[in-house]
Structure 1
Amino acid sequence: MNFSRHRLRTVLGPPALVLLVAAAGCSSADDSASAVVPAADAKVSKLCRDLDEALPSKVDGLGRRDPEPASAQTAGWGNPAIILRCGVMRPGKMSDPEADGVEVDGVGWLLDKRGDGSFRFTTTLRRAYVEVTIPERRTGDGMAPLVDLAPAVKKAVPEGIAD
């Protein structure tokens, strides 16, 4: 995946540090994706509903195919699916000053390359954390999915520090 990489300390700064306990799953055994719906408070859930309404119908040229169970806090595109989860907890890696981050069209993302070859990105400095998982088979297009998602994130999830 071709990324313009930045150290997180240049994207986040010290005030934005907390821990995460979140998990995303994606299964294609029955040709449908699944994703764990994050437990979020009412304020974050409202932001996630706003984001769900603003999300594009296509990401990286792939049509929207939401994962199970159906929720305004999750969305998906293609098969294997690019999965978005809104309202996740803050990743512990955000506390690591050596963690990698990228900025795409005004939205900061923590970059996490996973052991299975996929990439997980989590928004930084937003009132709700939004996580996007790009499966290994879809990483060849670089950050195209984030380019497609950035306008919706900027519109629906204000800048700031999530509680």
Structure 2
Amino acid sequence: MKVSLRCGIPITEFDLQHPGGFWHWVWQHNVPVTIVERVKKAGALLTAGYAAIANSVELSQTELKKLQDKRAKTKTERHQQRKAELSRRYEVDVTPELVEKDDDGWYLQLRMHYYLTPGREFLTTRDAKRTKAQLEAGENSIWKPDFNKGQMLSSVLLLEELNLYAWGAVAFF
């Protein structure tokens, strides 16, 4: 109603009952529309498919496992799987903004931040557990690239030694 008053064009109950509602009234009367930052952001999120992922159906653990094992997936199934994985990874409601941040490597940054700060005391145990699991899966042999990729202690020690984290040279957010 504020828009109607501002532009001096009345909006009737009939206009609001139209299937297009307010936006049909805007189009019908050629009311000027200004695109603001939030609208541009929402459009970018829609274009990237983030909204489709965030609005996908929630999956149970069993349904997620079936999808992960399935080789040929529809676009809808890929969106459902991604949403379920993000929901389990972050343990929060999945929003288009969260999907975007995850695409930008946010989870890895959060994890590194955690192990550089309060989680530092758990890092050695975490890396040891990963090593043990890899040894068991590989029947006492480990493929070096997988081993190196899974260990975080060396990265944390390097950042601590160079004192980059303390200076704020490592941006996490």
Which range, TM-score by smaller chain? under 0.3
Query: Whose relative contact order is higher, 1 or 2, with alpha carbons under 8 Å and at least 6 apart?
Result: 1
Q: Which one has the bigger strand percentage? A: 1
Length-normalised TM-score, structure 2: 0.21
In our comparison, the structure showing a higher alpha carbon Rg is: 2
